[in-house]
Amino acid sequence: MQTVKQNFISFGEHLRTLRTKMELPLREVASHLGIDPSLLAKIERSERQPTKQLIKDVANYFHVNEKELQNEFLSDQIAYKIIDEEADLEILKAAEQKVYYLKTHRNG
Amino acid sequence: MQTVKQNFISFGEHLRTLRTKMELPLREVASHLGIDPSLLAKIERSERQPTKQLIKDVANYFHVNEKELQNEFLSDQIAYKIIDEEADLEILKAAEQKVYYLKTHRNG
DNA sequence: ACTTTTTTGGACATTATTTGTCCATTTTAA
DNA sequence: TTAAAATGGACAAATAATGTCCAAAAAAGT
């Protein structure tokens, strides 16, 4: 049996899942991460954004892959942006092309 | 013959193309747009971001589609973000799924 | 070569946005 | 019903972005 990855879950929701599965209160986890419990709660609810350092700390604390968490957070940001700019999903394809273009044309 | 759309061109580059094709100096266009020539230059070079109002003004001034310019700018932002976070292009798919998910789950 | 116009780019004050904390209130569970 | 946990608003502090001014560099014109 393998884990089914639901990649429409936000970083915050994922974080909350990790925490609640271990039955830890905000207080406990926040303390280990060196932040205020209220801030942790806000991050879980996507009312605040995690810093890179926090993502790293979360990955260490819960023994999950850091890069995966980073990607998760980044895709959140992109999704939210598209929604509140009411943009067409087409722009993702355009963005992809731009990434290719920019990467192949770096330094010249 | 139809126009070939190169959608890896940034908003700024597009703007510069529009301006130079009409052989207008920064001074001239900036004045019509109500901004400093230096700011316009920076926007053309993607050193500053256009406001929504400016995108609208640009669309009017050059008689081009506003929504298209908006999308162009937005895809720039996403592309730049991916590049400087050194993120995997996979996240675009994840973002797309999140958009679907969030849109279908709005209000509940 | 000289002058004028255009463009670039740094410095900087201003404005806007985001962050993290505190604390009161609400919710949950014991 | 009381103790612990979670929420959420307010707010100061930190950070980031904006737009202007101006001097220097580059390009165009004579």
Domain boundaries defined on chain B: 11-106
* pLDDT at position B93 over 70: yes
Over the stretch A16-67, which tens digit does the pLDDT of each residue have? 999 999 999 999 999 999 999 999 999 999 999 999 999 999 999 999 999 9
A34 closest-nt by C1' vs CA: C20
Determine the average pLDDT of the residues in A83-97.
93
Q: Residue A108: pLDDT band by 50, 70, 90 thresholds?
A: very low
B11-106: CATH homologous superfamily?
lambda repressor-like DNA-binding domains (1.10.260.40)
Residue A104: its pLDDT value, please? 83
Q: What pLDDT sits at residue B67? A: 94
Q: Closest residue to D22 by CA to C1' distance?
A: B38
Q: How many CB pairs under 8 A join A and B?
A: 102
Q: How far apart are CA B37 and CA B45, in angstroms?
A: 12
Ramachandran area for residue A23 (φ above 0: left; ψ -120 to 50: alpha; else beta): left
**Whole-model pTM above 0.75?**
yes
What residue in A sits closest to B89 (Cα-Cα)?
Answer: A96
Token digits of residue A26: 């905000």
Q: Which of A4-13, A52-61, A76-85, A96-105 has the lowest mean pLDDT?
A: A4-13
Closest CA to A14 of A55, A38, A57, A44: A44
